[in-house]
Amino acid sequence: MKPFQRESPIFRNIRRTTWLVVVMSAIAAGCTPKQYAQQADRDAYAAVVSGQRSAFGQAKSFSIDYHPFVEEKAKPSKAIKVGKKVISVGSGPAQVLAPSECLEIAFRNSRNLQTRKEELFSAALALANSRRGWTWPLLGGEATGSAERSRIEKSGQWDNSAAAAIGPSLTQKFRNGAVLTLATTISLISDLLGSDSTTVGSMMEANFTQPLLQGAWRQLAYEDQYRLERDFVFDVYAYERFIQTFAVGIVNKYYDVLMKQDRLENERQSIERLKQTVAVTKFLVEGGQSRIQLDQAEQNLLDSQVRYELSRQNYRDALDGYKLELGLPVAAIVELDYPGVLKALNKAGPKPIAFKESDAIAVALATRPDVLTERAGVRDAERNIEIAADAFLPQLDVVLGYNAGGGPHKHDFWKVQFHRHKRFARVDFAWSLDQTDNRDAYRNSIMAFDRVRRDYDEFLDSVRLEVRQSFRSLVRSRRNYELQLRSVRIGTRRRKLAAMQQKGGEASARDVLEAEDALRSARNGLTRALIDYTTTRSKFLADLGMLRVDEKGTLHERTEPVKFERIEHRYPYAVVGR
């Protein structure tokens, strides 16, 4: 017989002990990493749904892309589509995108939006984790095991030992400060020489602790969890506001690229008119006029060509940057709808301002997420005074316990001997004679509350100032548009008249060139004023919660803002003035 062909009792017991540890570890682990990730998704999405219902009364679509353990090269390549359009990358025909199509792409591909969604998802995951022990028992414990064989030199003796244990526990926490713990332990000890020298035992126990003074009754134990729950509802509300400002930012950047493209077109048209002016001036110089006028006209033409090249670079850079904002590759072949969108804006003119200044301030104080956060900070600082005062109380806890062991033999270890149980009741008391630290913490909490109230009052004034400045900027930009519109009309008439008079010898080339510069500047100014008013107005409405974004990212103006009504019902202090 070959050596080691027949398994010895020692190795057989090592193998059995190892498998027992593996099985216990598998039971404790419960599932694979991928399944854990799926559990995390379910818990996080459930937290998001509960937060949305608390904030808005209804659950809204929310998801993030998650593909565990998939290599980048294994991911299938997808064509970039929006509606019936297919966007080429690197080469191919350019697709003209409308603002609504850009919004759809951004809501599907934007890296910034995905990052913001992941941040809310992580907050939801942390909240779901913190709920363990409050909304359902907290599973704890661990599985352990070891197997060892050692030899003492010169003695010729081998020492063998093995141990394995699994001890799951369930902990339930209560808002009055009580804690209930249920636990069981199954253990195995062996010298690896056979079943006769293997011992298996079990134990079940329960413990209940109820504080009577410090940390008791006033939901002080639940305070940290309460703040997590509330702050997440605020995070959901802030995320919804982010969606509005994100959509507005995408549209506003669209208009910004259009403005640069319009400036490029104005420069091109100006070059064409300057070429005509140079030709007319050249003819007049041949008839006897000063050569200086022709040099001046040619120099203005060269300057315009330089500006055209710079404007073209600025436009292409802005368009590439906008692609990244949408989540498209820089090599994507797209163009914006110019001049169609700009013509539609000019035709519609500036939309009216739906608010008075005082109404806008009131709406801002009732809708802005940062107002919620600051107001909650005042409440927390006041609550911290109560928590600091509670620390002066002595610790007085009632502890109740119960435990029972398994059967005396290894074959019936799982039979709990409830008739031989042990139970106890105990009162623990502790109180520090040195209250200096508690005294200082209490006094600091009072000063912190006063400081938070001062900061909150200053914050409200800063909100009022910000809204007033935004409102004034909105009024100014509307007035600026009206002035620029008149300037374009005058500049167009002046340019035509100067060109006609130059041909008749009644005006110099300088008059025509000055009129041309004024017309170009007025046209650029008109586009800038219109877009400035449009973007300022949309941002103003987004800050007041007066916009709604549908599932495709399309913007719709509200007739009434979304205020704190539902949040106020659950957290009354969230309303300004309470």
Render pLDDT for 163-181 as a digit per residue (tens, 0 to 9).
888 888 899 999 999 999 9
Angle between helices 223-286 and 99-109 (to 10 degrees): 140
The verdict on whether omega for the bond into residue 339 sits within 30 degrees of 0, i.e. cis, is yes
Domains and CATH numbers, the chain: 1-30+135-221+396-430 (no CATH), 223-379+442-574 (1.20.1600.10)
pLDDT range class, residue 19, cuts 50, 70, 90: very low
Helix axis angle, 340-348 relative to 509-543, nearest 10°? 80
- The residues pairing with 165 across neighbouring beta strands, listed in sequence order, are 144, 187
What pLDDT, on a 0 to 100 scale, did the predictor assign at position 194? 65
Query: pLDDT over 90 for what percent of the chain?
Result: 65
User: Which residues lie closer than 8 Å to 457 by C-beta, 6 or more apart?
Assistant: none
Do the beta carbons of residue 304 and residue 521 sit within 8 Å?
no
Q: Is 212 exposed, middle or buried (0-12, 13-18, 19+ CB in 10 A)?
A: middle
Per-residue confidence (pLDDT) for residue 413, from 0 to 100: 61
CB-CB contact of 402 with 182 (8 Å): no
Task: Annotate 412-453 with DSSP letters as a single string.
Answer: GTTS--GGG-EEEEEEEEE--S--HHHHHHHHHHHHHHHHHH
β-strands 334-336, 95-97 pairing: parallel
Task: Return the SS3 of 174.
Answer: coil
Return the number of other C-beta atoms located less than 10 Å from residue 309's C-beta. Answer: 11
Residue 25 has pLDDT above 50, yes or no: no
Q: Give the pLDDT band of residue 75 (cuts 50, 70, 90).
A: very low
Beta strands (DSSP E) in 167-280 are 169-173, 179-190, 198-211
Tens-digit pLDDT profile for residues 432-491: 999 999 999 999 999 999 999 999 999 999 999 999 999 999 999 999 999 999 999 999
According to the model, what pLDDT value does residue 27 have?
A: 53
Kindly state the tokens that stand for 291. 């050569």
Q: Which residues contact 194 (CB under 8 A, 6 or more apart)?
A: 9, 13
Which pLDDT tens digit goes with each residue over 42-69?
Answer: 999 999 999 999 999 889 888 886 655 5
Question: 187: burial class by Cβ within 10 Å (0-12, 13-18, 19+)?
Answer: middle
- pTM equals 0.86
Cα 148 to Cα 15, 145, 164, 209, distances in angstroms:
12, 10, 12, 39
